[in-house]
Structure 1
Amino acid sequence: MLICGLLAGGVILFLALVIIGFTTMVSYRNRVVEAEKNIDQTVSQVEVVLQRRFDLIPNLVETVKGYADHESEVFREVARLRGQWSQSDSPEERQRISVELDPKLNEILVVAEQYPNLKANRNFRMLQVQLEGTENRIAVERRRMNLAIREYNILIEKFPGNVVAALFDYEPRVDYFEAVPESRNAPEVDF
């Protein structure tokens, strides 16, 4: 009778461990799925604010262009990058283009500084404020995207998440937003 009791207790303990293990695995799998969806959402949000920036750029360029015809190279470059943006299908390519565009937008704002009448223009000021707000939103959303990727990677690399990741073939994400090396230097604007 003692052996039957020990055997029954062992079976119950084994079943309890299986149930706990299964519940833990399901819970972690759901957390990984949620973290992955969070990354997708943050990447999408970066796309939204980058699109807002690209929608504002033509208005800003046209307003400045009337005051600064001789700085047309900057405007052509912005138009070229904007064209690449609209033809791009991948978020990674759009992020690369947006990083390349950052110094060009700074050049446009420097050009505007050279024209007091333009700085006083109400449309220009309104566009400039909108663009500055959009740039802040882009920075916030890029940061959120990087944090979401970091949280996902931590989740699948720590125990027991690493076991779940191995079982369901989840890989660490490496698509952090990174600025191109050239963006570390201030753009030079030569008049």
Structure 2
Amino acid sequence: MTYLRRFGLVPPLAAVSLASCGLNSVPTSEEKVNAAWANLQADYQRRNDLVGNLVQTVKAAAKQESTVLVGVAEARSRATQVQLAPTDLSNPSKVQQFANAQQAVSNSIRPLLGPMIQERYPELKSLNNFSMLQDQLEGTENRILVSRRDYNTAVQDYNTRIRTFPDAIGAKIFYGAKPKVPFQAAAGSENAPKVDFGN
């Protein structure tokens, strides 16, 4: 030990041992999870904004679709009431509640996407605003899927880091780190939606 002190090797050895136990890598990994979560929230907010515009556009052109529009508006309203802070990402029930609310919005806008509504209501084909919003909404749904995948990748990296040696030492001792909850597919999402116009 006196040999190490004499040559000033104690501080560098201490720094190396602390660095190898997750002192820096655990918070860096957690920040990646939080950043991915913020991106996902931004995509959900974009969708909520677009849904509001889409509902108003369709409402002006298709008053007969009031039940679909009411369902979309109600689902959107419920989804915006369910909030999930980064501190809640370790709570499976809160993550699931948030995911369910967002899935309800996705389910309610399905009748407004794709050719089925244009086939049933040809007058909507002439609405440039409707087509533009429809394209943006489809793009946003794709962005949400990518953001969810990015979030799940960040969560997987973080959860692996806090459970494996040597980072697990720093994760437990210094941060009391808990695993984050990834998004899972909603129940029944493996089934294609049934399209029925009551004909």
Q: Hey, what does 1:44 align to over in structure 2?
A: 38
Contact 1:68 1:111 in 2 (8 A): no
| TM-score, with structure 2 as normaliser | 0.79
The structure with the larger Rg is 1
Taking only aligned residues, the RMSD between alpha carbons, in angstroms, comes to 2.5
1:106 aligns with 2:110: yes
Where structure 1 has 5 or more consecutive residues not aligned to the other structure, the ranges are 1-6
Q: Is residue 136 of structure 1 aligned with residue 142 of structure 2?
A: yes
When the two structures are aligned, how many residues end up with a matched partner?
182
Cα distance, 1:166 vs. partner? 2.4
Runs of 4+ displaced beyond 4 Å? 15-19
**For residue 172 of structure 1, what is the aligned residue in structure 2?**
179
Cα deviations across residues 152-182 of structure 1 (Å, max 9, x unaligned)?
1111112101222221221222x21112103
Separation of aligned partners in 2, 1:127 and 1:36: 35
Q: Residue 150 and residue 21 in structure 1: after superposition, are their counterparts in 2 closer, same or farther (change >3 A)? A: farther
In the other structure, the counterpart of 1:85 is 79
Match of 1:4 in 2: none
Match of 1:24 among 11, 14, 17: 17
Cα distance, 1:46 vs structure 2: 0.6
| Kept in 2: contact 1:67–1:115 (CA 8 A) | no
Identity %: 36
Deviation at 1:8, TM superposition (A): 4.7
Alignment of structure 1 residues 153-172 onto 2, 5 Å: 153-168=159-174, 169-172=176-179
Alpha-carbon contact 2:99-2:186 (below 8 Å) kept? no
TM-score (norm 1): 0.82
Q: After superposition, give the CA deviation of every residue in 1:112-150 in whole Å (9 maximum; x if it has no partner).
A: 342223123211111111111111111111111001001
Name structure 2 gaps, 5 residues minimum: 86-94
